[in-house]
A = this chain, B = another copy of it.
Amino acid sequence: MTADNFKWLKQSKEKIGTTVTLSGWVRTIRTTNAGVSFLSLFDGSDLSGIQAVVPDTLANYEQVIDQVSGCAVCVTGELVASQGKGQQVEVQACHVDIIGEVEDPQHYPIQPKRHSMEFLRSVAHLRPRTNVFAAVTRIRHAVSMAIHQHMSNAGFYWIHTPIITGSDCEGAGDLFRVSTLDALKPPLNTSGEVDFTQDFFGKETFLAVSGQLNVEAFAQSMRHVYTFGPTFRAENSNTSRHLAEFWMVEPEMAFTDLSGCADCAETLLKGICQSLLTHHSEDLAFFDQFVEKGVLARVTNLASQGFERLTYSQAITILEQSGQAFEYPVKWGIDLQSEHERFLVESHFKRPAVVTDYPKDIKSFYMRLNDDEKTVAAMDVLAPGIGEIIGGSQREERLDVLTKRMLESGLNPDDYGWYLDLRRYGSTPHSGFGLGLERLVSYVTGVSNVRDVIAFPRTPGHAPY
């Protein structure tokens, strides 16, 4: 029942002149008075699909031209070089089998026209049949595979860190609780609190917001490692830029300072973009034409331009001297806003930049304290058109300094026993960063709402699929 996918068929010049079977769905049908009809077929393997030329000599010709739109079909015929514009091959059909019909065609949600993204979110189970969502899915796959291939080729081992955890990894952010206790009448302890010792793991547990602390343990044993998996933040921010569930890649490197960390981030982003340009130029051109003019140039630039490097203090000076009227006033100590980040990379440098050494008070406890005791060895990678796309740091490897920073941040070191323990035994300078998959896919496709780059959209206050 299986057959070559359309993408491969089109690349197999030796198949021209042979009989092939196409398994896919009918996007459109065009009938003519010249005794033939044209079926535009897709199977998800590429954007443009293959055209089948259906002669009226077929036994089921009338049924085909009446009913076939949207149907799943198997079309058998000779693969020939195409006379039509914009396609290399087509199939001269000698059999068209309708495998799966469309019940009630007028109400089939995916009509051959342009649909709004809002509407498509309401029929998420069918939206991969549209050009735009299938292309998003291919790009998401390609970005994900490029990440794995790049990291693996660079000698990094993929670590599956725990999703269900006993502690809030970063000491910040709202968490999803994971429990098997009775929701209505949970068991109580003698203090009248919920008795989580009776829960599945014997303590209160949450969905991990990051794999970083766990993967640091592996970096301290296997040098170059990374996580790539789902992470969770129960932040009820109804923006198009945030998801409660998203995938993140988190490389972590022992024997590596912040400069090496920035090198790794720049190389990874370039590698991903280069892979997209090599293998998915058809989809990128589609997004450039129909979704956001300029995404092709964006990907090309990210793949080729050197990233500027500067400190936070230098960035503040540039912003202060820019003469720009920013919504959020600039002074040393503020967290950079999107408008500041974008001014730096879009107007000032006109290329991506890595900003390092942020004030310690706006960054996490685990980031390495610099000798000035005012800044930490943090970095943000900023890109034109989006601002921050990667955040990372050198980690604090000194036990005494880390403990002090925890206390300053209101954390109880007793909750981080093994994380502190790592600093007691052969601890090395180490660094790492996080890159959110959905944000990157949104960036390289121009599909601006992150709910449109995931499989099934789930929005706070709305039932998930």
Asked if residues A2 and B256 are in contact (CB atoms below 8 Å), the reply is yes
- The yes or no answer to A34 lying at the interface (CB within 8 A) is no
Bound Cα distance from A159 to B456, whole angstroms:
10
Asked if residues B256 and A200 are in contact (CB atoms below 8 Å), the reply is no
Contact partner, A460, options B200, B224, B424, B456, Cβ 8 Å = B200
CB within 8 Å of B: which of A406-464?
418-419, 421-422, 424-429, 437, 454-456, 458-464
Known: A214-B456, A245-B164. A254 touches B23 (CB 8 A): yes
Q: Which of A177-185, A307-315, A333-341, A385-393 contacts B (4 or more CB under 8 A)?
A: A177-185
- The yes or no answer to A72 lying at the interface (CB within 8 A) is yes
Asked if residues B158 and A144 are in contact (CB atoms below 8 Å), the reply is yes
Bound Cα distance from A180 to B461, whole angstroms:
12
- The yes or no answer to A255 lying at the interface (CB within 8 A) is yes
- Specify how many copies of this chain sit in the oligomer: 2
Asked if residues A23 and B159 are in contact (CB atoms below 8 Å), the reply is no
Bound Cα distance from A18 to B456, whole angstroms:
54
Asked if residues B180 and A158 are in contact (CB atoms below 8 Å), the reply is no
Asked if residues B176 and A184 are in contact (CB atoms below 8 Å), the reply is no
CB within 8 Å of B: which of A231-289?
232, 234, 236, 244-245, 247, 253-257, 260
Asked if residues B134 and A460 are in contact (CB atoms below 8 Å), the reply is no
Asked if residues B186 and A184 are in contact (CB atoms below 8 Å), the reply is yes
Q: Which of A193, A220, A459 has the most CB of B within 10 A?
A: A220
Q: Which of A101-109, A298-306, A322-330 contacts B (4 or more CB under 8 A)?
A: A101-109
Known: A100-B427, A137-B157. A255 touches B455 (CB 8 A): no
Residues of B contacting A221 in the complex (Cβ-Cβ under 8 angstroms): 25, 44, 126, 128-129, 134
Q: Which of A25, A419, A462 has the most CB of B within 10 A?
A: A25
How many of A's residues come within 8 Å of B, CB to CB?
Answer: 118
Bound Cα distance from A462 to B177, whole angstroms:
17
Asked if residues A152 and B157 are in contact (CB atoms below 8 Å), the reply is no
Residues of B contacting A43 in the complex (Cβ-Cβ under 8 angstroms): 222-223
- The yes or no answer to A7 lying at the interface (CB within 8 A) is yes
Asked if residues B455 and A164 are in contact (CB atoms below 8 Å), the reply is no
Asked if residues B464 and A166 are in contact (CB atoms below 8 Å), the reply is yes
Q: What are some 10 contacts across the A-B interface (CB < 8 A)?
A: A5-B224, A44-B225, A99-B255, A126-B421, A141-B159, A162-B455, A164-B232, A165-B465, A177-B178, A202-B463
Using a CB–CB cutoff of 8 Å, the interface residues on chain A facing chain B are 1-3, 5, 7-8, 23-26, 43-45, 70-72, 74, 99-104, 108-110, 124-126, 128-129, 134, 137-138, 140-141, 144-145, 148, 152, 155, 157-166, 174-181, 183-184, 186, 188, 193-194, 200-205, 207, 214, 217-218, 220-225, 229-230, 232, 234, 236, 244-245, 247, 253-257, 260, 397, 418-419, 421-422, 424-429, 437, 454-456, 458-465
